[in-house]
Structure 1
Amino acid sequence: MPTIPTYPGVYIEELPSSVRTITAVSTSVTAFVGATRRGPLDQPVTLTSFADFERRFGGLAAQSPVSYAVQQFFLNGGSVAVVVRVAAAGTGAAAAATLTSTQTSTATPVLDVTAVEPGLWGGTLRVAVDYRTPTPGDTFNLQVFDTSGAVRESFADLSVQDGSPRFAETVVNSGSAVVRVKVRAASRPDPVGTVSKPFAAALPDLTHEVQVKIGDVTRTVRIYDPAVDGAVPTTVTELALLLERKLRALPDAPGKRVFAGTRVTAFGRQLQAVAGSTDPADVVRFLGEAANNLGLEGSVSPPVFALAGGQDGGAPGLTDLIGSEAGKTGIQALRDVQDVNLLVLPELAGYADVDDAVTVVSAAQALCVEKRMFLIVDSPQAWTTLDAARAGLSAFDSVRGDHAALYFPHLELVDPLTGRLRAFPPSGTVAGVIARTDGQRGVWKAPAGTEAGLPGVRALTVPMTDRENGLLNPLAVNCLRTFPVVGPVVWGARTLAGADVLGSQWKYVPVRRLALMLEESLYRGTKWVVFEPNDERLWAQIRLNVGTFLHSLFQQGAFQGTSARSAYFVKCDRDTTTQDDVNRGVVNVVVGFAPLKPAEFVIVKIEQLAGQFEV
């Protein structure tokens, strides 16, 4: 605010700068939509590595083209991916388990535990309950394991009372990445393992032998032997430590650790004995009259409660991929994601009906136009020869837009799951090449040529000669080629609108993508203009800020021309914004740029000179 002088002296006043920086947006964040082994349905998840994909979506799966596409994207230079899991409508189920309480006369369902996402993967989860809490009579602990026995999550001191700050639903559902719970009754679930009856203040005689059965194996143990165990236990905790040591010393069945990993703990005046296993069949049972007299078998439960009933979703059809704009499903789930530049749909290559694939491509292109994205289209899996590609190309005539590019043929890679060569759609690999090219050279460089190598690719399903390549390139099919020494490369950079007969100004992929980057950068970088006074001072600021942004790109080599004047221009003045526009609250900014076109054809002319002579 202006300084109001009140005393003689020097006043310092900071003035706001008229320069507002416009930053170039990202250009290679790639969205993948399709079936995965696990993961949230119809929710975009941002990943920065394939390890992230393995954690959130279960890694590679033979029936998931998206999983291989994401792997190839990161292997070829991609850095950020957005994955949307899609499944056939009405398919898939989450694994679940219902925990009961036997504190009443009959077993009562008290807690539903459900895997957070549908899929068979939920069947690997196990949950365990114990009462080792500060208030063992009222609260409980919940642990989540996997089949390996590793603890994935642990939640302590939970309550089934809705008003409690440790209410199980609130604590677990807000903190767990793998399960959700629902309290069905105001009673705690039974603890796992075998829980004794409460011991009296003075422990009973412990010199008896008891039989212990875990699974199919029965062993005999003397709880306390005065000759070898030293002082007699006087507390429940000391008894728990002694019994655990005795049980772990018992011989196991071959290949098992149910006795060796046994855990015996104390809570209140009770003991809990749990087998060292994640197999629900390995129940600890104390048998015989001596065990009954000691109260060692107050209640018996498995060592863990297993989740079951999970089912993977079916392969998505065209309606599932297209999704619903209102429900934000399928590709429409990307509407709320700000920074997505490339879209990959590997599922389409395997469609038996090419018309279904073209229907999805049409909807995807419409979304790309709206969101300023670019679609990478895989050639159909049925195009196994050059003639099949030429004959089937007419199916794509209805979707020849400039926001998409078609790549042919498919790649032959070693499948990490089988160790054998297998054909894969090229879109994920091409997206990685585009991301690598953007980072090394810029979005204005065509993602093709000898620099656009495809590491890891063993072969192409359809090898091509120069002449065969020449049959497809004029039809806007970007071919993948293999050259001696260089190896497999991307050898085309045309949009679907780049067929010679169409004469489109958006013929080339780098021209279209550069324009998309400029549009999105200017869209975000000029929002400060809204509601500013619409006069010459505002127009001058717009020219300064937009011109500075374009000049920085010119210095990086993004435009044609040897001078800034011939490379770009920015107009915002009385010629572009009339008084009528001002009265209607409109300011018009005209931006022009001279894009770089790729050197698609290199013609070398060689002439033989006649011998020189002197007269």
Structure 2
Amino acid sequence: MPTHMGYPGVYIEELPSSVRTIASVTTSVTAFVGHTRRGPLNRPVRVTSFADFERRFGGLTARSALSYAVHQFFGNGGALAVIVRVAKAGTGQDACVTLRSTEGRSECPVLEVHAKEPGTWGSGLRVAVDHDTPASDRTFNLHILDARGGARESFTGLSMDAGHGRYVETVVDAGSSLVRVKVLDEDRPDPSGTVSKPFAAQLPALDVELKVKIGEVEREFTLFEPDRDGEPPGDVTELALLLERKLRALPDAPGRHAFAGAEVTAFGRRLQVVAGSVDPDDVVRFVGECANDLGLEASVNPPVFPLEGGADGDPPGPRDLIGSEGGKTGVQALRDVDDVNLLALPELSAYESTEDMVTVLSAAGRLCEERRIFLLVDSPSTWGSVDAARAGIGAFEPVRSNHAGLYFPHLQLTDPLTGRLRSFPPSGAVAGVIARTDGERGVWKAPAGTEARLAGVRSLTVRLTDRENGLLNPLGVNCLRTFPVVGPLVWGARTLEGADALDSEWKYVPVRRLALHVEESLYRGLQWVVFEPNDDQLWQQIRLKASAYLNDLFRQGAFKGGTPREAYFVKCDKDTTTDADIARGVVNVVIGIAPVKPAEFVIVRIQQFAGQFDLS
């Protein structure tokens, strides 16, 4: 009611809606766990395209089966992936450089700059320092360049004082995607390049001959020529512009840009001269008596400070992939990630030991059951024939689960790095096909058949016939086939529990994935029920909300049956929730669905007939 009614009339008050809907969750967000060129270790990162993956994880590399799987995922229709970079324990190392200072004391290390993540990529980073700030006697600027990737970052007005608002550790660690820093001493790092001594208020005579050397290239020039340069510079800033113009006019060595891109900056009463190069050897040196008179030899450093010592971690072993639940490493890093529906471990197929492969799959399978994720299992690379597959499938008995599906054989694609044909595990491409199918038809449609084409695939490592397919399908192996005109495609939709001998109700991949989708949607959509009064009114609301959600799926074709009554039911009343349940704070909701199962075997009967039909 209105809080105050002071006059006779009509009062209007807006009330919050009591309608609570159950929304469908995602169905095809795929997590990839394994080795990459770069990226944060054991930390899930979402990527929305392969270009995004290249920026965050370094793109394709021959040592990373995961990188190719992600490439195939997006190439086959995938839209969103979660990447967890894992490396063999103790093998990765981040690149580093230590910046030094000569302010007020003998040279000493003051600032360590580390690559944000381990890997040889960090050895391509370059750091530059200047003191061109409003408080040029106390603060400094830090510039980071990725010489290989082209990314640049700049942080201005930094201080080495922990109490300053622009404290270097706080600003850089929070804002940089390339580096992190560690303060070793309170002094500022020296600027990069050549820094002059402070000029007096009255500039010295500038019509002098200077000799400058960058690397092995030496040039001479006249600093100020009245006939050409007009009025002499009146302050240090104008002197900086004059010197920069003179340096850029000097001829470079063939293919170099050291002189042409030179930069001269004025800060305070000093000049900083930096070669236009990211080569640390391109040090600017002014030589001769005139250079000494002008004070251009005060401090000489490289134009950039290179990070060194980065090392890629070795591909992870079984223990690294399994990870630690407490430390959230390996596949366990996915425990805190919402909206992951599929899991791929493309590096497992290259393991020589099937026992190691099964050990990792066992841990991954337990995670999938807890988090309602479906696991895509690559067949071992050693399965080079149907007989090898039939003989090897027995090793997977300990991990036969309705939360996993196994795909055979491997794919043959052109390697973008070499241009040669190469075999790859199929999980990445299959995940892309699943994502495409979910988007076009729905999670209840089997990701198999003539619509489930494998884009970019040239051929398969084993070409299967109908009879050979018939030997593997009853064992719960999803076959990849090549058909005329259509090309390579997925031709199986069974879970690992889908072997005929097991007679499981979760035999088919779409049935299992539809149930996971419904479970997760109801789990999230009914969170509001917690702590509500456990009475008839609550039970009625639960029935209405759950029925509305299931009816929407029914209209889209997710369930069989001609009417909603035949497709699903929702029960939540005094029969499902007794007085004893209410006393314990429990409300029981019973939901049943009739999922559509795929037409795995199509039988066409043809019969001859004699005589003629009367078509009149």
TM-score past 0.5 threshold: yes
Structure 2: tracts of 5 or more residues without a match:
none
| Match in the other structure for 1:595 | 595
| Match in the other structure for 1:138 | 138
- Whole-angstrom CA distance in 2 between matches of 1:575 and 1:15: 34
| Match in the other structure for 2:236 | 236
| Match in the other structure for 2:530 | 530
| Match in the other structure for 1:391 | 391
| Match in the other structure for 1:179 | 179
- Whole-angstrom CA distance in 2 between matches of 1:293 and 1:19: 82
Kept after mapping to 1: 8 A contact 2:126/2:144:
yes
Within a 5 Å distance, the mapping from 1:80-91 to structure 2 comes to 80-91=80-91
| Match in the other structure for 2:576 | 576
1:359 matches 2:359:
yes
User: How big is the alpha-carbon RMSD for the aligned residues of Structure 1 and Structure 2?
Assistant: 1.5
Q: Paired residues, what number? A: 614
- Whole-angstrom CA distance in 1 between matches of 2:150 and 2:328: 36
- Whole-angstrom CA distance in 1 between matches of 2:218 and 2:78: 57
Partner of 1:218, secondary structure, is: strand
Within a 5 Å distance, the mapping from 1:99-138 to structure 2 comes to 99-138=99-138
User: What's the CA shift for 1:16?
Assistant: 5.6
- Whole-angstrom CA distance in 2 between matches of 1:237 and 1:17: 65
- Whole-angstrom CA distance in 2 between matches of 1:99 and 1:613: 96
| Match in the other structure for 2:245 | 245
| Match in the other structure for 2:371 | 371
Q: Structure 1: which amino acid aligns with 2:136?
A: P
Q: Structure 1: which amino acid aligns with 2:274?
A: V
Kept after mapping to 1: 8 A contact 2:118/2:311:
yes
Partner of 1:228, secondary structure, is: helix
- Whole-angstrom CA distance in 1 between matches of 2:157 and 2:10: 64
Kept after mapping to 2: 8 A contact 1:18/1:541:
no
| Match in the other structure for 1:327 | 327
User: What's the CA shift for 1:146?
Assistant: 2.2
User: What's the CA shift for 1:386?
Assistant: 1.2
Within a 5 Å distance, the mapping from 1:4-83 to structure 2 comes to 8-12=8-12, 17-83=17-83
Change (3 A) 1:138 1:227: same
Partner of 1:455, secondary structure, is: coil
- Whole-angstrom CA distance in 2 between matches of 1:13 and 1:201: 73
Q: Structure 2: which amino acid aligns with 1:448?
A: A
- Whole-angstrom CA distance in 2 between matches of 1:8 and 1:201: 82
Partner of 2:98, secondary structure, is: strand
User: What's the CA shift for 1:4?
Assistant: 8.5
Q: Structure 1: which amino acid aligns with 2:566?
A: S
User: What's the CA shift for 1:428?
Assistant: 0.4
| Match in the other structure for 1:98 | 98
Partner of 1:488, secondary structure, is: strand
| Match in the other structure for 2:497 | 497
Kept after mapping to 2: 8 A contact 1:3/1:13:
no
1:510 matches 2:510:
yes
Change (3 A) 1:608 1:579: same
| Match in the other structure for 2:309 | 309
User: What's the CA shift for 1:427?
Assistant: 0.1
| Match in the other structure for 1:276 | 276
Change (3 A) 1:318 1:280: same
| Match in the other structure for 2:564 | 564
Partner of 2:604, secondary structure, is: coil
Q: Structure 1: which amino acid aligns with 2:454?
A: L
Change (3 A) 1:468 1:150: closer
Q: Structure 1: which amino acid aligns with 2:62?
A: A
Kept after mapping to 2: 8 A contact 1:447/1:493:
yes
- Whole-angstrom CA distance in 1 between matches of 2:266 and 2:19: 69
Partner of 1:227, secondary structure, is: helix
- Whole-angstrom CA distance in 1 between matches of 2:75 and 2:579: 55
Change (3 A) 1:88 1:250: same
- Whole-angstrom CA distance in 1 between matches of 2:466 and 2:13: 69
- Whole-angstrom CA distance in 2 between matches of 1:100 and 1:613: 100
- Whole-angstrom CA distance in 1 between matches of 2:524 and 2:151: 45
Kept after mapping to 1: 8 A contact 2:2/2:11:
no
| Match in the other structure for 1:438 | 438
User: What's the CA shift for 1:6?
Assistant: 7.5
User: What's the CA shift for 1:20?
Assistant: 1.4
Kept after mapping to 1: 8 A contact 2:349/2:425:
yes
Once the two structures are superposed, residues 42-88 of structure 1 have per-residue CA deviations (whole angstroms, 9 ceiling, x without a partner) of: 00001111111001000111110110111111111111100000000
1:189 matches 2:196:
no
Q: Structure 2: which amino acid aligns with 1:370?
A: E
Once the two structures are superposed, residues 416-436 of structure 1 have per-residue CA deviations (whole angstroms, 9 ceiling, x without a partner) of: 000111100000000000000
1:606 matches 2:614:
no
Change (3 A) 1:98 1:608: same
- Whole-angstrom CA distance in 1 between matches of 2:109 and 2:308: 16
| Match in the other structure for 1:219 | 219
User: What's the CA shift for 1:10?
Assistant: 3.9
| Match in the other structure for 2:457 | 457
Q: Compare 7-16 and 448-457 and name the one that shifted more.
A: 7-16
| Match in the other structure for 1:153 | 153
Change (3 A) 1:238 1:149: farther
| Match in the other structure for 1:267 | 267
Structure 1: tracts of 5 or more residues without a match:
none
Partner of 1:423, secondary structure, is: strand
Kept after mapping to 1: 8 A contact 2:258/2:276:
yes
User: What's the CA shift for 1:209?
Assistant: 0.8
Once the two structures are superposed, residues 367-408 of structure 1 have per-residue CA deviations (whole angstroms, 9 ceiling, x without a partner) of: 000000000000001111111111111110111110000000
User: What's the CA shift for 1:612?
Assistant: 5.3
| Match in the other structure for 1:488 | 488
- Whole-angstrom CA distance in 1 between matches of 2:594 and 2:543: 18
- Whole-angstrom CA distance in 2 between matches of 1:198 and 1:14: 70
- Whole-angstrom CA distance in 2 between matches of 1:468 and 1:149: 48
Percent identity over the alignment is 69
Kept after mapping to 2: 8 A contact 1:149/1:277:
no
User: What's the CA shift for 1:188?
Assistant: 0.6
Change (3 A) 1:13 1:203: closer
| Match in the other structure for 2:466 | 466
Partner of 2:227, secondary structure, is: coil
